[in-house]
Amino acid sequence: MTHPNLATWLQAEVPAGWFQEPARAEVDPDEIVVVGALPGRPGVPLRELVQSFREESRQVRMGIAQRAELRFGRRLSWAVEVGRERFDFTSLATPVMTRLRMRERQVLDTLVEASVARSRSEALAWCVKLVAEHEADWIGELREALVKVNELRRSGPRARQRVRSRRPSPDAEVPR
């Protein structure tokens, strides 16, 4: 789900010079994550660069987040990228409920008993991260396919009905 004015709004809100290129937004029904590319500085360790930006921009980012939450009705979080590395400053951890059969629960319980995770919930999150890491290309293809599906839905029969309903019916009197 995207808000048509989000990109424009972000360009106006995010201070010029923060990022190498305009910040992008990743959006789901619960959260907007603003991701910006930081320019690297020779001789400055990556973590130090990120931490410095995080501290220096904190107050401004918090103000932008508050305004965004009021305007778009969802939490706004922040992340930066330096080269291929991504650092999430804040991110919403949304509870998700599912029903699992015994064999599926046993997988989670094994992860807990082996101290891979502290709870079933954490074990499930670990499994999701593992799938995302090992099946990233496939997940990306699914996302691209869903964009096309949503475009087709918008232009489907209901959209055509709205267009047709504006036309006069064949029985209507034609003004002379």
For residue 76, which of 60, 100, 92 has the smallest C-alpha distance?
92
Amino acid 145: pLDDT: 95
Mean pLDDT rounded to a whole number for the chain: 88
Q: Are 77 and 91 in contact (CB under 8 A)?
A: yes
Q: Are 64 and 18 in contact (CB under 8 A)?
A: no
- Enumerate domains of the chain plus CATH numbers: 1-94 (3.30.70), 95-158 (no CATH)
| Stronger pLDDT, 62 or 44, i.e. the higher one | 62
Banded pLDDT at 173 (limits 50, 70, 90): very low
Amino acid 132: pLDDT: 94
